[in-house]
Structure 1
Amino acid sequence: MIPIKLVILDRDGTINEDSDDFIKSADEWHPLPGALEAIARLNHAGWHAVVVSNQSGLGRGLFEVSDLNAIHAKMHQMLADVGGRIDAVFYCPHTPADACHCRKPDTGLFEQIEDRYGLDLKNVPAVGDSARDAVAAVAVGCEPHLVMTGKGAVYRGKSLPEAFPAHTVAHENLSAFVDFLLDREEARA
């Protein structure tokens, strides 16, 4: 069996615009420039993409699961319109006070991916816009990548602080990450 080529993506600040007030409805969900096309390029190169996302707005009562489903339906439709797809969305509905195992930087969402796909996530690229994304990824053996969009924008032109795993690779945006990944894959072929 040929192993699946998998990329794990954070959602808010990586694929779509982030908001300190939370993304609470499909109307508030707006993709970052080039992000959907970048995912489509990954898909066309044989990569599968899944999303891992903290959604504490659910636990805070700011929106309902039906609102989250509508957001993801919009994301899936907009991706389909450019020839891309997300295979699955894994999310944590808890607040930080809940001290759950699924909220990043903990590893529960990543473990759900391992269970669903029957995979070891060692060296699977994981992309996010914050240290907690990278920390969770490294804890399960993933290769950590940071995009300098969303919360990651503050690191543009700077060295990453110690909160990031030492081997985190920084990229301008999701499109630049995809360029990096596909170029590396071609160089290894």
Structure 2
Amino acid sequence: MNKQELISQLNNIQNNFMLGLAALGLLLREDSFSVLESLLCVLTDSSISFISDTSQIHEQFKGVQFPLKVAPYPLAEAAKYIKDSDKRQRENIQREFFMMLLEVLLKESFEVIKNYCQNSNKLHLFKQQDWYDFARIVRNCLSHNFLVEYKNNQEKKKITHLLEGKELYSRYGWQASSNKLFWYRWST
């Protein structure tokens, strides 16, 4: 992977995050329920489509070689689930969907950069960045349900110093209002 491919992949990750936020915004709007109730999500081996009439499945895939695996999923169930949810449940839906988007954004970005550095023999430079340990811990937390695990006691001391000492905040000019990341509380 060259630098241009890295930038392209990072842009794709960012765009997917933004599209996910847009989908979340639309999903939680009451005026979107009627649209969702009428849609089918059609997944094939190589495409995804949203249609409002099952007769369109055959027309849309006319001329395609069979056997074609077509799996229509009615989105009415999702609309009903959200529509029937109370305010607290909707907040939970919003939070969980957002955390899924954030997880993909951070994990994929970290992995793409790490792979680029490995392929270009720059992994040592990546690991020398003063934010590397923090980014790696966040990435690992996202992968393991916010469970923080340290390789050794030295690593724990380093991360604890970064978090509790607010060194990350002062180093990068961030404002430290609490030890929370969105809805999750850091504990060391």
Shorter-normalised TM range: under 0.3
- Report the TM-score when normalising by structure 1: 0.22
Q: Decide which structure has the larger Cα Rg and report it.
A: 2
Does 1 or 2 have the higher relative contact order (CA < 8 Å, sep 6+)?
A: 1
Larger proportion of helix: 2
Could you state the TM-score of these two structures normalised by the residue count of structure 2?
0.22
Between structures 1 and 2, the one with greater strand share: 1
